[in-house]
Amino acid sequence: MKEMLSVILGGGAGTRLYPLTATRSKPAVPIAGKYRLVDIPISNCLNSGISRIFVLTMYNSASLNRHIKNTYQFSTFSNAFVDILAAEQTPDNFTWFMGTADAVRQGLRHIAPFPSDYVLILSGDQLYQLDFVAMLEEHKQRGADITIATIPVSAKEASEFGILKTNDGYITSFVEKPKSGLEDWISDTGEEMKAKGKEYLASMGIYIFNRQMLFDMLLNEKKEATDFGKEIIPQSIEKYKVASYQYEGYWEDIGNIHAFFEANLALTEDLPAFNLFDNQRAIYTRARMLPPAKVSGTRLDKAIISEGSIINASHIERSIVGIRSRIGHETTLINTYLMGNDYFETLDDIQNDKDNGIPPLGVGARCNIQNAIIDKDCRIGNDVKITGGSHLQDGDHALFTIKDGIIVVKKGAVLPDGFTIG
């Protein structure tokens, strides 16, 4: 689709996803055992025929740069690309990105040479499958200047989003995260959505802008505005045609640990709301030359097992096992996301670990892990017990963090034999 190019916002410091963002940006956080968050918006673009994509980043972008470089390579005879636009200081601008609108503004000098009629702006930390072709067609049919993808939500959820009202498909008012007066913001979301108690329209943070208007707005009309949700969108409603594109499929903003944890474990259901097995909406990621997983004597129930894994556990339930994972005998994983490892250890490496008194990469024997996220390249010894739950207080420790009862073992952490959390 040559008439539209895409800009993916890498987000800020990602403090709500800490410690997963301690050494990587939000879009680089691993999901579903083998993907990165950034693969979701990029795959939605590619499945919609949008093959010119910019990713704007500022924090901890090294692993993201590496992932994109190793993953999204196109034919020499193609105009397709996925390019990183990192925050940069220039002679006429000495600041880093000050917000979503400011990030796009600073990227315009790199976007300008690539012709298009429309610019699609996306977030890098959401899980969804959306057809941008259909969204663009409705944008054109309505003669809109801006189209915002919206999703029906309940009253309980409404205070976490930008909520809007519409008239005949056009947005007439907008409020960011309302804490009171919700009854004034009820919308006609359709009979099916109303029956589910979803009577409010929330912005998904997905926008289509007419290109020239976007450039004029960011460089001239609103050159001091820094954020789309708080400034650009509310201030545009009276002057421009701002349309709503209502989406009723699965969408999850996974900007915090609890949402991230639940969204991942939900993928283990028999018929998950987010379908990784859709032929028409494939999720693309780095092609690794890994062997298939090997499982011995393990009872698996609602488990996703990624390639390159060697598993001798006794029981894995409602859990995701990431690439190159190693799990020892008589170990149990329940409600756990084990992210896996970046490399294999050889037999000599494992013997060297033993000689030096440290566990090998992976999870040892006779461990019991529940309600936890184990980040990449952790070394968990034998007889380790990790039990997350509501009985735990939030806190940050040297080897792990607890948030909302979920224990997050930090990347590269070493837990010795018999270590206990919870």
What is the residue-wise DSSP string for 69-127? HHH----TT---EEEEEE---BTTB-----SHHHHHHHHHHHHTTS--SEEEEEESSEE
Least reliable range by pLDDT among 1-10, 123-132, 183-192, 348-357? 183-192
Q: Please report the pLDDT score of residue 90 as a whole number.
A: 60
Contact 53, 136 (CB under 8 A): no
Q: Please report the pLDDT score of residue 62 as a whole number.
A: 86
pLDDT surpasses 70 at 229 = yes
Q: Across all residues in the chain, what is the average pLDDT? A: 92
* Span between the terminal Cα atoms of the chain, in Å: 52
pLDDT band at 139 (very low <50, low <70, confident <90, very high): very high
Mapped onto helix, strand or coil, the DSSP state of residue 417 is: coil
Q: Please report the pLDDT score of residue 96 as a whole number.
A: 62
Least reliable range by pLDDT among 176-185, 212-221, 222-231? 176-185
Q: Please report the pLDDT score of residue 187 as a whole number.
A: 87
**Could you tell me the domains of the chain?**
4-266 (3.90.550.10), 294-421 (2.160.10.10)
Choose from 154-168, 177-191, 240-254 the range with maximum mean pLDDT: 240-254
pLDDT surpasses 90 at 339 = yes
pLDDT surpasses 80 at 137 = yes
What is the residue-wise DSSP string for 160-174? TSEEEEEETTEEEEE
pLDDT surpasses 90 at 130 = yes
Query: 409 or 84: which carries more pLDDT confidence?
Result: 409
- % of the chain beyond a pLDDT of 90: 74
Beta carbons within 10 angstroms of residue 388's beta carbon = 24
pLDDT band at 279 (very low <50, low <70, confident <90, very high): confident
What mean pLDDT is predicted for residues 158-187? Answer: 87
pTM value surpassing 0.85? yes
Cα(10)–Cα(26) distance, integer angstroms: 7
Contact 110, 118 (CB under 8 A): no
Q: Please report the pLDDT score of residue 255 as a whole number.
A: 79
Q: Please report the pLDDT score of residue 108 as a whole number.
A: 92
Max alpha carbon distance in the chain (Å)? Answer: 71
Q: Please report the pLDDT score of residue 88 as a whole number.
A: 63
The one-letter code for the residue type at 356 is N
Q: Please report the pLDDT score of residue 37 as a whole number.
A: 95
Contact 51, 284 (CB under 8 A): no
Contact 236, 138 (CB under 8 A): no
pLDDT digits (tens, 9 = 90+) for 15-34: 889 999 999 988 999 999 99
pLDDT digits (tens, 9 = 90+) for 88-125: 656 566 566 778 888 899 889 999 999 999 999 999 88
How buried is residue 194: exposed, middle or buried, by Cβ count under 10 Å (0-12/13-18/19+)?
A: middle
Number of residues written out for the chain: 422
With vertex at residue 212, the alpha carbon angle to CA 207 and CA 214, rounded to the nearest 5 degrees, is 40
pLDDT digits (tens, 9 = 90+) for 296-305: 999 999 999 9
What mean pLDDT is predicted for residues 146-159? Answer: 92
Residue found under tokens 């963002």:
21
pLDDT band at 146 (very low <50, low <70, confident <90, very high): very high
- % of the chain beyond a pLDDT of 70: 97
